[in-house]
């Protein structure tokens, strides 16, 4: 069963401390993509960047090891991996003896690729590299200080407007006010989001109202970002568009979806202050 309601979300579960890849729960992307009119060839490319902060295992002598982990799941993979099942899976290594970190990375790569249905990139950051980890905010003009009145808290793409009389621009707009809710439990998900585009200027007040309109919306992180991407693409018709959201962590994991319709480097994986 792959429907979200059959996942571990919202259910009492026992934490398994021995390696168990069967804990991973894939959910097909296509169901939600059908809702936003994405069928056939994808109108975007991108990646879901997951950061794991609670990864531990035992070395052959039983001594605990720790690391940070970065998982990059391609946007064209058939499945997302439900986040609570991801957490349970990672915790299943807690009392598992492994020869070294390379053995762990191999298991993670194989299991996650099988669940996602496409190759997943895995990077382990061991303790000697912890001091090199940095923070940064999303690059762009922050629209959060605009003095607007808001009364809509479910997604309304009709709020989006372009300043069609103005010349095309190349800009990045940022907001820290994106909030949505878990599709199953209704728990709040908090994020900062960057809209980078080339095209007719997007009216900034309308964009801020639109992003705030997700406040009571129930959908997974990846699905919200794809909905935002498609709404802006349809209503504002930019020549180029990229949407990048950095969500705060839950259960030792944060999820950071990126979608764009042009070739270019993937975004940096620098944590924001809220992450």
Q: Could you give the residue numbers annotated as active site? A: 182, 189
Neighbouring-strand partners of residue 195 = 173, 243
> Which residue has 């919202």 as its token pair?
10
Q: In 76-176, which residue ranges form alpha helices assigned H by DSSP?
A: 83-91, 101-116
Please say whether the beta carbons of 207 and 194 come within 8 A. Answer: no
Element (H, E) at 222: helix 221-236
β-sheet with 240-247: strand ranges across = 121-126, 64-74, 45-58, 253-260, 240-247, 188-199, 169-181, 141-142
Q: How far apart are CA 117 and CA 123, in angstroms?
A: 19
Pairing of the two strands 240-247 and 253-260: antiparallel
């Amino acid at each position: 069963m792959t429907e979200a309601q059959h996942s571990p979300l919202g259910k009492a579960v026992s934490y398994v401390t021995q390696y168990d890849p069967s804990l991973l729960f894939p959910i097909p992307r296509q169901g939600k993509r059908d809702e936003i009119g994405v069928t056939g060839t994808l109108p975007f490319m991108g990646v879901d960047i997951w950061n794991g902060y609670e990864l531990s295992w035992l070395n052959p002598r039983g001594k605990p090891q720790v690391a940070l982990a970065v998982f990059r799941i391609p946007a064209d993979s058939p499945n997302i991996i439900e986040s609570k099942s991801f957490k349970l899976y990672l915790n299943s290594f807690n009392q598992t003896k492994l020869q070294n970190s390379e053995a762990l990375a191999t298991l993670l790569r194989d299991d996650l690729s099988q669940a996602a249905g496409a190759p997943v990139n895995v990077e382990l950051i061991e303790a000697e590299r912890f001091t090199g980890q940095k923070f940064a905010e999303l690059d762009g003009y922050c629209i959060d200080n605009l003095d607007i009145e808001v009364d809509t808290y479910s997604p309304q793409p009709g709020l989006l407007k372009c300043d069609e009389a103005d010349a095309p621009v190349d800009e990045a707009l940022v907001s820290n006010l994106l909030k949505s809710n878990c599709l199953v439990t209704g728990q709040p998900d908090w994020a900062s989001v960057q809209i980078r585009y080339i095209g007719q200027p997007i009216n900034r007040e309308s964009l801020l109202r639109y992003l705030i309109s997700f406040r009571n919306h129930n959908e997974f992180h990846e699905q919200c970002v794809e909905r935002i991407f498609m709404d802006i693409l349809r209503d504002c018709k930019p020549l180029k568009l990229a949407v990048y959201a950095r969500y705060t962590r839950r259960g030792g994991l944060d999820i950071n979806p990126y979608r764009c319709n042009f070739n270019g480097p993937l975004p940096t994986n620098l944590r924001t202050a809220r992450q």
